[in-house]
Structure 1
Amino acid sequence: VLPLSSSVLVSSLIFSLFVLDQHYDRLKNACCRQSRVFEDPNFPANDRSLYYSQSPPRVVEWKRPQFSTGCREDKTADKQDLVRAPSLFSASGISPHDLQQGSLGNCWFVAAASCLAKDPSIWKKVIPSPKEQEWPSPGGAPHCGIFRFRFWRFGRWVEVVIDDRLPTSGGELIFCRPGRKSDAFWCSLLEKAYANSFTNFSSQHYILTYCHAYSVTAVKSITLHSGLLSLFRTHKLRLVRLRNPWGSGEWKGAWSDGSEEWKKVSQRERKKMGVTVDDDGEFWMSWEDFCTHFTDLTLCRRVNTHFLSTHKTWNEESVFSAWKQNPDPLKDRSGGCPNNKATYLHNPQVEVNRKYRLHCAASKASSSTYINSRSVLLHTELQKGRYVILPTTFHSRQTGAFLLRVYTDRASHLRELNKDVPDPSCLCFIGPARVVTSITVHAASGLSVPGSSSDPSVYVTIHCEGQKVRSRTVKGRNPEFDLKAIFYRKQEKKAIVVQVWQSRWVRDTLLGSVSVPCPVGESNQTAVLRLQRKDVGSAGYIMVEKSSSSELTAL
């Protein structure tokens, strides 16, 4: 199995990159020594941090949730507190109800943050050391006004440091704000940190205005009873719980808050499900209505790579690379999709078990769909064999960096192929490769198996100048192998040997072998050859396809 995934993966030990080389501990210690609050010079409290080019439509004041009287004056923030006793988390801990969307059209971000709050294994990595960052209780030491958050960007955790100055208008936060019954500011600060990583708040506003995102907070299957024979007449119903990031505005149809349908569910079950009639933006609806009214669903698949786990685990390999232009065809890495037949193989090539780049198109084992998206996911099952992965853009001559991550149930030792042909040996008595040969063993027929009438388990091997390639094991006297190998040969007149073996418990048995001549100049030549064994005249037949060229980049 070889699934190709773009899912976010985290480990228990986190090593972070620091945006603009800002280190939280150093900056915080410096503020404490100098008795001052932190002001981020890279994200100033002015209009440039709100919009790219336009001016704010209203007067904006930058305020801190709590003005620290124990520190030197903060000239850019109003001295009045936003709240009397701010906190990073609410008294009961982090909750999806801690946040509601502001005037920025980033419902996708607020909905994702709401989901984040329900998963401690993730939010503890996004919001590190929350107790250390928390505002002090009344009468405690002054807060330095500095916070840090981490985001999973391009396969790495990136740490962003911010101050706690937030844009307000009329004494109210303009953007993401604490929920109606909460003074938890983690959501507002998280939004600012995300904006900081994109230069300003308006960078987040790239969702279509007529779309709106909701977070799915639960999926539940309940049993409904009906009629006098309710113990026997039951049926299952799937319900979906969603949350509007605005913090209000809910579904009014079946299974909405206070709807007649809830009378079919016991009070105990409703309490267990957390059903309320508050206009808090969270509501239930049936699976059928969910499918009717929503057009897109985004899933974040987390892949388990822990060694000690009771669940299915995967091996992860990753490669950072880029599509780059170069006038030299052997160095160009911007070939485009397979429609560009002349340049397609110019793309970066990542191998699972090869050494040199592919120069001749091979059969496609699997492919994802081209889509205008920041990430592409392919889940596929592959037979044991030799594979090359080609990450491509749709059009040729396009450039950009990419991250490829591959998850397999066995170690794959992924790496990018940069060499086109073998390097010449430094030993003078070992000459360079002179010929490249491609040989494919398609199938065998009429295999003779001594002392057995049942179908044998067999495999084929190809031998060339000390190298060997083996196929998967298949069953039958007329097996199909489809084993392909490419050899860079120093002795062009020496034949390649193909052997067919019977797989056995103690010791494998050679069923037959044949020498395959591969003269230079052959191209896709097919031949049926007789297998030889000492004790019989004919051990069966194999069908091979072969090509050889003195141009080492021809295959």
Structure 2
Amino acid sequence: YIFDVKKTEDKVLISLQQEDRRRSKKVGKGDNITIGFEIFKVEDNRIYRLHKLTVQERVATSPYINTRNVFLKKILKQGRYILIPTTYLPGIAAKFILRLFTDVPSKLRELTADKPEMTCWSLLCGYPRRITQIKIHSAEGLQEQDGSSGADPYVLIKCENQKVRSSVEHNTTSATFNTQVIFYRKNIDSPVIVQVWNSNILCDQFLGQALLAASPSDPREQQTLQLRGRGSQEAEEVPGHITVKVFSTDDLVEL
């Protein structure tokens, strides 16, 4: 299940309730099952099921107990989250009711698709050949704007015809974003573009960009890249650098 936290921080209450099993006591199945759930922070634009838990940040785990209801209250930061209800022992199926309460609507919904659907239209427009996850940690050493002591930076990640924008960090030249995105890429030769912009009331200012080949053979460790002007990878350097982590694979259900 997936849900969104819209506020900068929101107090989230989750309730997982299993079916009443007392009527099954006559056949020896009246005991409650040990249940619980896990919550992971995922990419801001994820719309498909989660396949690899080790590349995601686990932000909360409920108690695993054999009661009818399991509750958890947690303050979560703005972003998108995956909630996975589970039994403690593997291979046990059970019916349940999942409830989630937040201050503003969270759009809790079930994820059913593992990857983009192959359709007749895919034969004409192409089908994704690679999946890329990008985590933007921070941007530092940015150029001061408007004669002030800082800037109001945000990052814009572009891949083919898709764009994802982070929140704005105010009055700083060294911003921490902790933004992550995921792209299903058709044209694997086209780089992913990570741009840094300064937010203004009338017109935002371009501060620099980094081009990512995002190949499966690229290092998967966190790396710091110099910002450059618009154009190719050899464009003129501009003040600032950005710290990112890239994970690419040609297996569309690995992430």
Q: Paired residue for 2:247?
A: 547
Which secondary structure does the structure 2 equivalent of 1:456 belong to?
coil
Provide the secondary structure at the position in 2 that maps to 1:429: helix
2:196 matches 1:500: yes
1:369: how far off? 1.8
Aligned residue for 2:177?
481
- 1:364 paired to 2:58: yes
1:464 equivalent in structure 2: 159
Larger strand proportion of the pair: 2
1:372-416 C-alpha deviation (Å, 9 max, x unpaired) = 221111221222122111112222112101111112222222211
Change (3 A) 1:400 1:543: same
Counterpart position of 2:233: none
Partner of 2:95: 401
The correspondence for 2:14, drawn from 5, 16, 19, is 5
Q: CA deviation at 1:432?
A: 1.0
Q: Hey, what's the Cα distance between the residues in 2 that align with 1:505 and 1:452?
A: 16
Shift of 1:352: 9.0
1:261-340 matches, cutoff 5 A:
none
| Structure-2 change in CA distance of 1:551 and 1:352 (3 Å) | closer
Native 8 Å contact 1:513 1:532 kept in 2: yes
Q: Distance in 2 between matches of 1:388 and 1:526?
A: 23
Kept after mapping to 2: 8 A contact 1:351/1:415? no
CA distance in 1 between partners of 2:143 and 2:81 (Å): 32
Give the partner amino acid of 2:93. T
2:156 alignment partner, SS class: strand
1:523 Cα deviation after fit:
5.5
When residues 354 and 406 of structure 1 are mapped into structure 2, their CA distance, relative to the original with a 3 A threshold, is farther
- 2:116 is equivalent to residue 422 of structure 1: yes
Partner of 1:448: 143
Quick one: structure 1 residues 351 and 499, their matched pair in 2 at CA, closer, same or farther if it must change by over 3 Å? closer
Q: How does 1:108-147 map to 2 (within 5 A)?
A: none
Tell me the matched-pair count. Answer: 225
Q: Alpha-carbon deviation of 1:514? A: 1.8
* Closer, same or farther: CA 523–390 of 1 in aligned 2, 3 Å: farther
Instruction: For 1:404 and 1:459, locate their aligned partners in 2 and report how far apart those are by CA, in whole Å.
Output: 35
Contact 1:431 1:490 in 2 (8 A): yes
Hey, what does 2:4 align to over in structure 1? none
d(CA) in 2 for partners of 1:548, 1:537: 26
For the Cα contact (< 8 Å) 1:502–1:508, is it kept in 2?
yes
Aligned to 2:47: 355
Cα 1:506–1:479 change in 2 (3 A) is same
Deviation of 1:494 (Å): 0.8
Larger RCO: Structure 1 or Structure 2 (Cα < 8 Å, ≥ 6 residues apart)? 2
Counting helix residues as a fraction of each chain, which structure ranks higher? 1
Match for residue 529 of structure 1?
225
Shift of 1:522: 3.4
Give the letter aligned to residue 484 of structure 1: Q
Match of 2:71 among 359, 369, 377: 377
Question: How many percent of aligned residue pairs carry the same amino acid?
Answer: 36
* Aligned residues: CA RMSD: 3.2
Contact 2:135/2:178 (8 A) holds in 1: yes
Deviation for aligned residue 1:357: 0.9
Specify whether residues 507 and 378 from structure 1 end up closer, same or farther in structure 2 by C-alpha distance, changes over 3 A only.
Answer: farther
Question: Of the two, which has the highest radius of gyration?
Answer: 1
- Give the structure-2-normalised TM-score: 0.77
- Range that drifts further, 539-548 or 371-380: 371-380
Q: Would the alpha carbon gap of residues 397 and 352 (structure 1) be closer, same or farther in structure 2, given more than 3 Å must change?
A: farther
* Counterpart AA for 2:244: V
Structure 2 residue runs without a partner (length 5+): 1-9, 24-29, 231-235
Letter in 1 for 2:225: L
- Answer yes or no: is 1:387 the counterpart of 2:87: no
Q: Give me the whole-angstrom Cα distance separating, in 2, the residues matched to 1:455 and 1:3.
A: 34
Select which of 192, 210, 231 maps to 1:514: 210
Aligned counterparts, 1:32-111, within 5 A: none
Deviation at 1:337, TM superposition (A): 7.5
Structure 1 stretches of 5 or more lacking a match?
9-152, 155-197, 200-205, 207-322, 324-335, 339-344
Contact 2:16 2:98 (8 Å CA) reproduced: no
- Say whether the 8 Å CA contact 1:351–1:416 is kept in structure 2: no
CA 1:452–1:389 in 2, change beyond 3 Å: closer, same or farther? farther
- Supply the AA of the counterpart residue of 2:46: R
Structure 1's 549 and 424: CA in aligned 2 closer, same or farther, altered over 3 A?
same
Cα distance in 2 for residues equivalent to 1:516 and 1:423 = 26
Q: Please give the TM-score of this superposition, normalised by the length of structure 1.
A: 0.37
